[in-house]
Structure formats: structure tokens, C-alpha cells
Amino acid sequence: MMRIPFSYIWRSLWARRLTTALTIGGVALVVFVFAGVLMLARGLEATLVETGSPDNVIVLRRSATSELSSQVDRGTADVLEAESGVARGTEGRPLLSREVVLVIDLYKKKSNALGNVSIRGVSARAMELRPGVHIVQGQPFQFGTHEVIVGKSIASQFKGVTLGAQLAFGGDRWTVVGIADAGGTAFDSEIWGDVDQFMQAFGRPVYSSLSFRLANPGGFDQLKTRLQADPRMQYVELKHERDYYQEQSKTLATFIRILGIVVTTIFSFGAMIGAMITMYAAVANRTVEVGTLRALGFRRRSVLGAFLIESVVLALVGGALGVALAAFLSFARISVVNFQSFSEIGFGFALSPGIVRSALIFAVVMGVIGGFLPAMRAARLNIVNALRAS
Amino acid sequence: MKLLRLVFKNLFRHRLRTALTMLGIATAVMAFGLIRTIVGAWNAGVTGAAANRMITRHRVSLIFPIPLPYRNEIARVPGVTGVSWANWFGGVYGDPNDFKNFWPRFAVDPETYFDLYPEFQLPPDQLAAFKKERNACVIGRKLAQQHGFKLGDVITMEGDIYAGRWQWVVRGIYTGRDPSTDETQMFFQFAYLFEQVRQREPGRPVDAGFYVLRVGSPDALARVASAVDTQFVNSRAPTKTESEKEFQQSFVQMSSAIITSLQVISVVIVAIILLVLANTIVMSVRERTREYAVLKTLGFSGRQLAGFVFAEALVISLSGGVLGLLLTFPIVKGFAKALPTFFPVINVAPITMALGIGAALLAGLAAAAIPANRVVRMPIVIGLRTVG
């Protein structure tokens, strides 16, 4: 069987430039939205999952859904610090941070509206426990004082959060002494200070959570089983930090995905119709040409293939354009409240090879579906009638 | 009249293409309607807020409780005609990964809460039963429907903010007075929460989550707000008092980035309508170049011919728009089903319908502009020579 040369397909598209461009534009917009939504959901997940370190474990009260609703008492912290499963730091001290997480309101720069900001009281080992967090301006806060450091996302989005500024919360004033870069993780959207100072200021007798490094990275299950048998640990639950943060992203990410998929499915229907209109017109305009091709000896299947390829080329070019447009979104960052932690989280659009692949497959599917019926019509034309058409 | 017939004849020349174009526009208008409706649903709390209600909460953040004795002091503020309070309970019901299992749960004061929220309509006998029984609860009609809860059923869940296993008996099902009333909430007695926490976690204080205030007239809002907040400014729990509308608005604000992206998408949709329609019109005009030249030869003016092009585009876009609006209703219903509890109140607003049609109309005009201009400027001889 002889194949219709690709140059024929290419020239046909070029001959109707305006129509071709309009169709490509339609597909590109749909793919743009499709890719954008996936990038957003992925960006959120990446931000939260990266927040957890693979060797760290978080301890929360059983069935607490977030650090905000969790309470862990001092006794539990003491038991854990003596536990051999907890890694030791430089001076043989346990790598464990006792933390309290609360939410305060600050004014946003852009909208002047109140935004929820997480504040986290930490112990001396917190920075060692989370090597991804660096001070980029100023210095670390001193324990025992009312000094705090702020994440860079907070510093850039909220009013009055600059080096040396005073924040008022918990019936007291707190001095910002440093700005931290946590590498795009959720810690970028937090304010850190001394856990004891925070608890005193807010009159809170218990911690929210404990985080510690595993002495033996593979020993999580073993440690969990052992601690679960300990009567003093009955009311708490151990989780891999990664798993915990993954759970925190779930509701919002799922919401973004469902919303995005519903919208793009409807959109894609519109784009397929656009491709169909273009291809039907292409077939109608070229009836004589199709007749000629058939008379020259090209088979029905070749004609079907040629028109189908034409439609797929249209869709692929549109898809590539859409992905290219979406790639620009990587520069944008957005900040919304994650209702699971009831505080702002800043994240970006993250493009991944998987998203590019899905977007292009999506485009090709639109091209095939949109082009199939018109291509069938072209293939089924009767040679004599087609040649006679005007 | 005859000219109008020509427009219709032209429309029916490529029945399939016309139908497909209308369908394409209908799809886009439907997506437009869906997105606008979602944005509207986000604002439902704001539209449903009563003009004479205010919320007092902890100044630092909503997560901090405020002392119970504040109640009497707030009630004494001139202009305040009613005070009640509520606590966010949280809790995990069934499989936490199923969105259906999440709904707002509040511990409320049974004596005053329903007085302040007349839009939650509860039969008097059910209200009396709710007040009488410590572990009674009242749920919304929609919530009852979603889970098949009936009066007398027991609802069990695991506490997260407040530890342990919790159980309530359904003693009332309220219905919303207005279409914008949230019918998915659950209320139980504050006293039950108070007593249980004292038993389960001795030493843990249980205060009010936030106070709900009713004022005599909406003019008093600002005065009451500052009077209440001044009173507690130097206490251990300073407060922030705002109208219910502002309070709800702050929740909407939390998701403002998502709302903005949705609005951007709705503009993209209008662009897609435009592309689909423009494509069809461009094609039709190109195919008929020779006919238009003939019509010009017969003496039709360029303007009249442009009118044909515009009329054709508008007929297609408007019928597509109307079809799209009709499709919006089932799709919104389907969406609400896919994501229950995210949007307790979701209705297609009249303004959404008007905007949908407006977008289609605008796209119709814009799509016809270039081809119409082409027809007007085409010299007859060139047009006659064109091979389609």
C-alpha cells in the first residue's frame, strides 16, 4: 500500500493558514488550561511533600488530622528523648524538636486583607533536624528571647514583616531577626521562634507535635511497633514526615484536580468540535483532490490516514504551543489557605515530564477524535462522484 | 425580509458545520456558566450573611478561643440585642478521604443559637427535644439527605481537636429559609462538649470559639464593633468584632488565588468561543467569495453584505449560547454531586446567565468582524476570479 506523502498534508494545512491557526489556537488554549491545572496541583504536592524529610518522624495525637488539632504532652516528649530509636546529634543530644503550631493573622501586602500565618515554636535541634532551612538574611533567633525568624514567602507577602520589625501576637511583641529560605517548602510560609516562649505567651500547656530523626533510617516500622506497645505512648501516633505532609496536601490538591479535569473535559469537547469543523471543511473543499488521489491509485485507507494525520498534526502543534505557554506559569507563585492547616501556603506551578506527556497525549486524542469522522467521509468518497464535484 | 431568508438559507447550506459550531459555543457557554457558578458558590456565605449579625472572635486568630464570661459583658454593650456562641468541633466521620464525610460541626448554645439564625428553620417540637437532651444534635436537610440520617439516628465520630469517640442522637433536622442558606451543618449542645472534655481531658479549658451578636439596626455595626473590642483590648483575650459579611468575606479571601485563576479561565473560555466561531465564519465567507462578488455586481452594497455576515454569526452564536445555558443546569448539578460539601450552596445566578449570553454575543460580533471587512473591501473582479 502506498502512503500519501507527508508534504501533501503539510501543504494542505499551509494553504488554509487562517483556519489552521484558529484551530491550533483553540487546541492550544485547552491544553494550556489542562497543563496549568495539573502543574498547580503538582506544585502544591511538591511543596508539601518536600517539607517532610525522608528520615524524620512526626508524632501527633492519635486521630489528629493536622498539627493544629494535635496535642502532645511533655511526658511523651521525655519518653521519646530517652528512646534509642531517635538519632543523636553532635553532642550526643537527641535530634528531637518539641513544637507548637498556632495561627496568627497578618495583613497581606497586595490585598490588605488579613491572612492566616502559621507560627511554629521549635526546640534547639530544629535547624539540625531540617537541614533544608537556611537563614538568608539576619541571624537565627536566640532561645529564651522574644526573637523570631520568618520564611521568605511570609516576608514577601505580608505587611510589616521585615528584618528588625516588631510583630504583635500572644499579648507581646516579637522581633524579626532573620529571614529563612526553606527551599520552596511549607516552612517558607511559617514564622519560627522558641517553643517555650510561644507556649508561655499563649498560655498553652502542651505541644502540638514532636519531630525527630530516625537513628536507623529503615527502622521506622520496628520503632513504631515497639512504641505502640508502650503504655505511655497510647494516645499518640507516629508518622513519616513525608506521609504526614502528603496528607496535608490531599484535600486541596484533589479539589484543584477535580475542578481542573471537569473544566478541561468540557473545554476539550469544544476544541474537538473546532478540529472537526476544520477537517470537515478541508474534506469538502478537497473533494476533487481526494477523487484524484483515489484515481491515482491511493487506497481508501491511505486517504483516511492522510486526513487523520493532518488533524493530529494540527492538534500536536496546538498542544506544543499550549505546553509552551503553560511553561511560563512556572514563574508565577500563588498563595492560598490550606484548610487542613488553616494557614497560608505559598506554592508555584511545577512542570514535570509527566505533565508534558499527558498534555500532548491529551492533544493527540483531541486530534484523533476530532479528525476521525471527517477522515472517514473523505475515505468513503466514490471516485467518480468526487472527481465530478465542483 | 427576503434578505433574512438569505441568511437562513446560508446557515442551512452546511448543516453539519452550523450544528457543530453551535454545539461548540454551547459547550463553552456551559463551561463559562459552571465556572461563574462555582465562584458564586464560594461567595454564598457572604451573600447569605445577615445584615444585623456580627461575629466576635479572638484578635490574634480564629483558632484561639475566647472566655465564656465575655458573654455577659458583650450583652451589656448598647445596641446588642442578642448574643450566642459556638465552637468549631472538627472531628473525623468515617473514611476521611471521602469528601462526603466532611461537614461543619459546631457546639452551640441551644437556648440562643437558633434565635440568632432565623434562617435555620427547625420545628418547635424538635427544638424543644434538642434543648432537653445533652447529646442531641440538629442537622441540615441536605446533610440528612446525603447520608440518609433520620430523626433518632446516632452519629458517631472520632474527635481530632477534642480527643476520643463522640456520639450524638439526631433530634432535629433544619431547613433553610432562603436558597442561600447552608443546609449541611450540624449543631450540638455546647454543654455536652464542656462536660465531656472536663471528663476526658481534666485541666483542659473549654471556652467559646466565637460569639455571634445581633444588633438592633445595621447602622449600629461600627459602633458596636468598636465598643466590644475596646472593652477587651487589655484583657488576656483581645477580640476582633466584625459584621458577619466581613467575617465570611475573610474566608473567601483565603482562597482568592484560586478564585482569580477561575476568573482567568472564564476569560479563556470566551476566547475559545471566539476561535471556534471565527473559524466557521472565515470558512463560510471564503467559500462564498464568488457569490458575494456576484451579489455586489447585482448592486448590493458592501455594508449590506457585511450585514449578512454579522447576522449569520449572531444567529449561530446566540442559539449556541441559549443551548449552553440550558446545559449549564445539569452540569452544575453533576459537579455539586462530584464534590459534595465543598459547596453547600450552589445555584446558577441570573447574572451568570446574562453574562453567558453576553459573552456569546460579543464573540459573535468579534468573529464576524474580519471576514465582514474582507467582504466589504473585496474588489468585484478579484472576487469573481477566486477559485474556492
User: B259-305, pLDDT tens digit by residue?
Assistant: 888 888 888 877 877 888 888 888 888 888 888 888 889 888 888 88
Contact state of A336 with B256 under an 8 Å Cβ cutoff: yes
Cα–Cα distance for residue pair B98/A250, rounded to 1 Å: 11
Q: What's the grid cell of residue A214?
A: 530516625
Contact state of A267 with B161 under an 8 Å Cβ cutoff: no
Q: Is the dihedral of CA A267, A269, A274, A278 positive or negative?
A: positive
- Name the residue among A111, A203, A334 with its Cβ closest to that of B253: A111
Contact state of A280 with B21 under an 8 Å Cβ cutoff: no
Q: Write out the DSSP string of B266-279.
A: HHHHHHHHHHHHHH
Which stretch of DSSP H or E encloses residue B113?
helix B113-116
Using only C-alpha atoms, chain A has a radius of gyration, in whole angstroms, of 30
Q: Is the dihedral of CA A57, A59, A63, A65 positive or negative?
A: negative
Write the ipTM.
0.74
Cα–Cα distance for residue pair A138/B12, rounded to 1 Å: 73
Are B266 and A264 within 8 A, CB to CB? no
pLDDT in the model for residue B308: 87
Which residues, listed in sequence order, are joined to residue A83 by a DSSP beta bridge? none
Contacts 24+ apart (CB under 8 A), B69-76: B70/B208, B70/B211, B70/B232, B70/B237, B70/B239, B71/B208, B71/B211, B73/B231, B73/B232, B74/B211, B74/B213, B74/B228, B74/B231
3-state helix, strand and coil shares in percent for chain A, rounded to the nearest 5: 55, 20, 25
Contact state of A281 with B269 under an 8 Å Cβ cutoff: no
Which residues 43-72 of A have a C-beta within 8 angstroms of B?
A: 61-66, 68-71
Contact state of B63 with A68 under an 8 Å Cβ cutoff: yes
CA-based nearest residue to B79, from B208, B227, B238, B211: B227
Using only C-alpha atoms, chain B has a radius of gyration, in whole angstroms, of 30
Contact state of A63 with B92 under an 8 Å Cβ cutoff: yes
Whats the size of chain B, residue-wise?
Answer: 388
Which stretch of DSSP H or E encloses residue A348?
strand A343-348
Contact state of A263 with B265 under an 8 Å Cβ cutoff: yes
Q: Give first-to-last CA distance, chain A, whole Å.
A: 29
pLDDT in the model for residue A165: 92
Are A310 and A371 within 8 A, CB to CB? yes
Which residues 215-234 of B have a C-beta within 8 angstroms of A?
A: none
CA-based nearest residue to A183, from A141, A139, A135: A135
Residue type, B22: M
CB proximity A315 to B under 8 Å: no
Contact state of B20 with A273 under an 8 Å Cβ cutoff: yes
Which residues in chain B are closer than 8 Å to A115, comparing Cβ atoms? Answer: 253-254
Which residues in chain B are closer than 8 Å to A38, comparing Cβ atoms? Answer: none
Torsion angle in degrees (nearest 10) through CA of B98, B104, B110, B113: -150
User: Mutate which of A70, A101, A191, A277 to disrupt the B interface (most B C-beta within 10 Å)?
Assistant: A277
Which residues 95-124 of A have a C-beta within 8 angstroms of B?
A: 102-105, 111, 113-116
Q: What is the DSSP letter of A89?
A: -
> Within 10 A of A51 (CB to CB), how many other CB atoms are there?
27
Q: Which residues lie closer than 8 Å to B282 by C-beta, 6 or more apart? A: A18, A19, A22, B370, B371
> Within 10 A of B20 (CB to CB), how many other CB atoms are there?
20
Cα–Cα distance for residue pair A29/B90, rounded to 1 Å: 40
pLDDT in the model for residue B387: 65
DSSP three-state, residue A12: helix
Residue type, B43: N
Contact state of A68 with B60 under an 8 Å Cβ cutoff: no
CB proximity B46 to A under 8 Å: no
Contact state of B30 with A250 under an 8 Å Cβ cutoff: no
Cα–Cα distance for residue pair B53/B83, rounded to 1 Å: 10
Which residues 148-187 of B have a C-beta within 8 angstroms of A?
A: 158-161, 163
Q: Nearest residue on chain B to A264, judged by CA atoms?
A: B31
Which residues in chain A are closer than 8 Å to B269, comparing Cβ atoms? Answer: 267
User: Mutate which of A266, A343, A369 to disrupt the B interface (most B C-beta within 10 Å)?
Assistant: A266
DSSP three-state, residue A195: helix
Q: What's the grid cell of residue B211?
A: 460569639
Which residues in chain B are closer than 8 Å to A32, comparing Cβ atoms? Answer: 268
- Name the residue among B97, B158, B254 with its Cβ closest to that of A336: B254
Tens digit of pLDDT per residue, chain A (390 long)?
A: 567 888 888 888 887 788 888 889 888 988 998 898 889 888 888 888 888 888 999 999 887 888 888 889 898 899 988 888 889 887 788 999 999 999 998 998 888 888 889 999 999 989 889 999 999 999 999 999 999 999 999 999 899 899 999 998 887 899 999 999 998 889 999 999 999 999 998 888 889 999 999 988 888 998 888 888 888 888 888 999 999 988 888 888 888 888 888 878 887 887 788 888 888 878 887 888 888 988 898 889 998 999 999 999 999 999 999 999 999 988 888 888 888 788 888 888 899 999 999 999 999 999 999 899 999 988 888 888 888 876
The Cα diameter of chain B in Å comes to 97
Q: What's the grid cell of residue B133?
A: 437532651
Residue A122 exposure: Cα atoms within 13 Å on the Cβ side: 28
pLDDT in the model for residue A390: 61
Contact state of B163 with A61 under an 8 Å Cβ cutoff: yes
CB proximity B279 to A under 8 Å: yes
CB proximity A296 to B under 8 Å: no
CB proximity B27 to A under 8 Å: yes
Cα–Cα distance for residue pair A143/B253, rounded to 1 Å: 35
- Name the residue among A70, A104, A280 with its Cβ closest to that of B17: A280
Which residues 298-327 of B have a C-beta within 8 angstroms of A?
A: none
- Burial tier of A80 (Cβ tally within 10 Å: 0-12, 13-18, 19+): buried
CB proximity B272 to A under 8 Å: yes
Cα–Cα distance for residue pair A287/B131, rounded to 1 Å: 80
pLDDT in the model for residue B1: 60
Contact state of A336 with B258 under an 8 Å Cβ cutoff: yes
Q: Nearest residue on chain B to A66, judged by CA atoms?
A: B160
- Name the residue among A63, A270, A336 with its Cβ closest to that of B28: A270
Residue type, A117: V
Cα–Cα distance for residue pair A218/A55, rounded to 1 Å: 8
- Name the residue among A26, A205, A336 with its Cβ closest to that of B272: A26
User: Mutate which of B39, B254, B374 to disrupt the A interface (most A C-beta within 10 Å)?
Assistant: B254
Contact state of B159 with A63 under an 8 Å Cβ cutoff: yes
Cα–Cα distance for residue pair A229/A50, rounded to 1 Å: 31
B2-11 and B302-338 helices cross at what angle (nearest 10)?
A: 50
- Name the residue among B92, B287, B335 with its Cβ closest to that of A65: B92
Q: CA of B385: how far to CAs of A11, B288, B388, in Å?
A: 22, 12, 10
Query: Which residues of chain B register pLDDT less than 50?
Result: none
Are A336 and B256 within 8 A, CB to CB? yes
Torsion angle in degrees (nearest 10) through CA of B317, B319, B322, B325: -60
Size of interface A-B (CB pairs under 8 A): 158
Are A192 and A149 within 8 A, CB to CB? yes
Contact state of A63 with B279 under an 8 Å Cβ cutoff: no
Cα–Cα distance for residue pair B305/B302, rounded to 1 Å: 5
